[in-house]
A and B are shown apart, each in its own frame.
Chain A
């Protein structure tokens, strides 16, 4: 294939670059180097899928799809099922979103619409800093500061006042599904906040001014004019946060209690897919154990890909709808 058949970037304004193409060896070397690095990305990803697949082959052959619905995880008896893990991953992530979404949207709306100009940048900066803290540090803080705090004040309070709900019953352990969800919420909040803030900043001010001119209060302007305009972007931000929460490993491993069962109470310990890999992978002794952990990794990978892809699809659809109307 000659290089001239490739479409040229519009930015190069066509004529001169086409004339120059292929005239210099330098151009060809430069382009093939770049092409090689660009190929590296899909090739690496292909490798990842192949390696995960071959790595988990043994478990796929032995357990098949029953792996997803099985709930025993017994390395000694060599019997593996991932249902409690999948449940734990989904529940902890959804709970985290439940806590983080209202908070981060509140902060994003406040920062773009209401805050005095002087404090907008500093607060945004502080919250971006939260995103830079390594996950293991959140885990450390969770073990030694958050859990004692929750155990002493928050959990007893919840049990006393909302104890009629099955999710707030039972003995209080420190490490639990709820503790892990709270640390996850703190961790995904900055991501949702900063994307939502960018989306809200992109709303044209005419949108806001029109609502205010019609006599809306500032809150009504937000609800009726700004949020509907930014809806697709905000949903994208939330799903981005979900993707982060699903794959989060260290802080969850340190806080969730690592017990492989599905419990009704949020005070009970749980387990997640990422946590079981982190805990058992370097100590696995049998081939089938490795294969099962690799199978879990494959499933986790597929879930996150599905979440990210659906986010894209949703955004794409909404963008199209926005254009059509």
Chain B
């Protein structure tokens, strides 16, 4: 009897410990979000989104150049990365037994585990060192390379979820294979693929390390992809590690903007799935 009480006590104690773990794990997130909102929101204004930075020491100014830069770099990266990732994902799902599919799958795993800073070094030697100048294009290539494995794996998984009967029905009706793949299989898997792609875009939008010595960052508005360009994560880094009090406030506000961009993309990703599902139901 005594032993049973002891055992139950141990069980309850361990559950208590786990509850503590949950609190310790969730606390930093709430803390970070709270800090971001409190410290960031006070410096946010319409000017912050529409104006350019001012020289250190002056007040006012904004990060319009970095918002534009992030949109351009991430947009370009999506143009390079998404088609390759989705295409390779379709290939691996449609021809799963081939040697190429196996190799691609394995190498995508290696790529996924490659540190983003290493990809940055790669983009530097491949593009920046040859062109002899920093460019937004090199940054976009580095980000694209990070997107590819993420998008590829979700695409493959989602296509595999499409019931075989759909494919069989289409083929039985005389559809050629490519139309079966495109208008039956891909269409069914599309909302999931959109979600996966948006999540990958959101994740890469926050990447800093691969941009450090490719896009480099800049203090000016630039639309030329062959020149250094500012980006929100780079701006956060520069302001946070800079010496001025004013810069630190900007760092918080810029981080808040960055989180907003990432969150909007993530929410859009979830909405894309939901709309499709409710439409079907």
Residues of A within 8 A of B (CB): 6-13, 16-17, 20-21, 23-24, 26-27, 29-31, 33-42, 44-45, 47-48, 51-52, 54-55, 102-104, 106-107, 109-111, 114-115, 123, 126-127, 129-130, 132-141, 143-145, 186, 189, 193, 217-220, 243, 246-250, 254, 274, 277-278, 281-282, 293-294, 297, 300-301, 304-305, 307-308, 312
Contacts and interface: CB of A to CB of B under 8 A. Distances in A.
B117 A135 contact: no
A135 B10 CA distance: 38
B39 to A, nearest CB: 8
Interface stretch (B53-61, B219-227, B254-262): B254-262
Given A40-B84, A41-B88, A134 B22 contact: no
Given A130-B29, A301-B118, A308-B113, A37 B87 contact: yes
A219 B47 CA distance: 56
A308 B113 CA distance: 7
Given A107-B22, A127-B26, A140-B255, 12 more contacts: A9-B94, A12-B177, A24-B176, A34-B95, A38-B87, A51-B125, A52-B118, A127-B29, A134-B233, A137-B255, A186-B28, A300-B118
Q: A55, A103, A107, A140: which has the most chain B beta carbons within 10 Å?
A: A140
A122 B25 CA distance: 13
Contacts of A107: 18, 21-22, 25
Contacts of B29: 126-127, 129-130, 133
Contact of A9 (B15, B96, B109): B96
Given A33-B87, A55-B125, A136-B208, A114 B18 contact: yes
Interface stretch (B71-79, B97-105, B188-196): B97-105
23 contacts: A9-B97, A11-B167, A16-B172, A17-B177, A35-B100, A39-B104, A44-B148, A47-B122, A51-B125, A106-B17, A110-B15, A126-B30, A132-B263, A133-B29, A134-B206, A134-B259, A137-B255, A140-B252, A141-B31, A247-B115, A249-B117, A305-B114, A307-B113
Contact of A145 (B31, B114, B134, B263): B31
Interface string B230-260: 0001001100110000001001100100110
Contacts of B164: 11, 13
B184 to A, nearest CB: 12
B176 A293 contact: no
A278 B206 CA distance: 16
Given A144-B248, A274-B115, A106 B21 contact: yes
Nearest to B212: A278
A111 B15 CA distance: 11
Contact of B178 (A27, A110, A277): A27
A272 B95 CA distance: 42
Would you call the interface of chain A mostly helix, strand, loop, or mixed? helix
A55 to B, nearest CB: 4
Interface of B: 7-8, 10-11, 14-15, 17-22, 24-26, 28-32, 35-36, 39, 83-84, 86-88, 90-92, 94-98, 100-101, 103-104, 107-111, 113-122, 124-126, 129, 134, 145, 148-149, 152, 164, 167-168, 171-172, 176-179, 181-182, 202-203, 205-209, 212-213, 216, 233, 236-237, 240-241, 248, 251-252, 255, 258-259, 262-263, 266
A37 B206 contact: no
B22 A254 contact: no
B101 A38 contact: yes
Nearest to B19: A110
A35 B91 contact: yes
A127 B177 CA distance: 42
A136 B206 contact: yes
Contact of B10 (A37, A130, A217): A217
Would you call the interface of chain B mostly helix, strand, loop, or mixed? helix
A104 B25 contact: yes
A20 to B, nearest CB: 6
A34 B98 contact: no
Contact of A30 (B117, B120, B178): B178
Contact of B177 (A27, A42, A189): A27
B70 to A, nearest CB: 11
Contacts of A254: 237, 240-241
B25 A127 contact: yes
Contacts of B258: 134, 136-137
